[in-house]
Structure 1
Amino acid sequence: MTSHVSGARSGATVRSSERAGLGSGWVVFAGVMMIFGGLMTLFAGIAAIAGDDLFVATRNYVFEFDLTGWGWIHLVMGVVITLAGAALFQGATWARVVGVGLAGLAMLANFLWIPYAPFWAFVLIAINAIVICALCTAPSPSER
């Protein structure tokens, strides 16, 4: 009888450790995706700054901005997103909050970037949506 009770307790321990692993797995996944998305954003910014002839913009787009300006915005945003993604590996709670905010801003910036690079803009919007989902569903360190 004693072994049955200890077995039930070890089962509960396994389930709680599985939950903790799932939470840390989501944070690691979000960190990897943030680094990947940040580097893609950074390279898009470099490409926009390096040559205005590389991108073809749709005419009469409502949110039309200077391509070089967008390049600098993407360059800075890519660096910050990459650094915040790397901070997630340190287990910093502030990095989760900043990550959600940056992913939201990146989604908005990529929505405005659609006329210049539609495919990559949609890819980055999807990546940032997944990052937000992963960071919001992962349990906090106190729940682990």
Structure 2
Amino acid sequence: MSASSTPPAGSAAPRSTSSESTRNAWATGGSVFAAVLLLLYGAIGIIQGIAGIADDDVYRQVGDYVFKFDTTAWGWIHLILGAIAFAAGWGVLKGATWGRAMGVGLAVLVAIANFMWLPYQPLWAIIAIGIAVFVIWSLCAERGGRPLV
């Protein structure tokens, strides 16, 4: 009998493959969730933007703050960011590399814009910053060019 380099039948598979596939499953799940969050944030951003554009009385400033913009200008900012976020979320779901890159870049812009939006909607701005951080992490954690759904 000659010695072969293949492991005998019934032997356990290497553990790195199992933990690697588990890690990939978690990362893919995080990417799907990030894509859905981008879609949701996009829809809410569009509504938030329309509300800011339509009537300056919808949002009130809480206190004195360095970043003072007219709420109509904020409405346009949120409307544009929301539309782009929706498109990026759709691209991430379809497995497009541009959607991933746009999602990460847009999440950075959303975090900055919502930091500056704090005096108008403090609770929602903090929640949106947290969502943006999660989106950045999850889109950077998993790599792949295949559709997620």
For 1:64-117, what per-residue CA distance to the aligned partner results, in whole angstroms no more than 9, with x for missing partners? Answer: 011101101100110100110111011112211111110000011111111111
Q: How many residues align?
A: 139
Amino acid at match of 1:31: A
Structure 1 pair 102–56 and aligned structure 2 pair: CA distance change class (3 A): same
Q: Which has the higher contact order (CA 8 A, sep 6+)?
A: 1
Unpaired runs of 5+ in structure 2?
1-6
TM-score by length of 2: 0.83
The question of 1:8 aligning with 2:13 is answered: yes
Amino acid at match of 1:141: G
Residue 4 of structure 1 and its aligned partner are, at CA, apart by: 2.1
Amino acid at match of 2:119: P
TM-score by length of 1: 0.85
The list of structure 1 runs, each at least 4 consecutive aligned residues, that deviate by more than 6 angstroms after superposition, is none
Structure 1 pair 54–19 and aligned structure 2 pair: CA distance change class (3 A): same
Task: From 138, 141, 144, give the equivalent of 2:144.
Answer: 141
Answer yes or no: is the 8 Å Cα contact 1:31–1:85 preserved in 2. yes
Amino acid at match of 1:2: P
Higher Cα Rg: structure 1 or 2? Answer: 2
Task: From 132, 136, 140, give the equivalent of 1:132.
Answer: 136
- Give the equivalent residue in structure 2 for 1:30: 34
Structure 1 pair 8–109 and aligned structure 2 pair: CA distance change class (3 A): same
Question: Alignment identity in percent?
Answer: 42
Task: From 105, 109, 133, give the equivalent of 1:105.
Answer: 109
- Give the equivalent residue in structure 1 for 2:81: 77
Higher share of residues assigned helix = 1
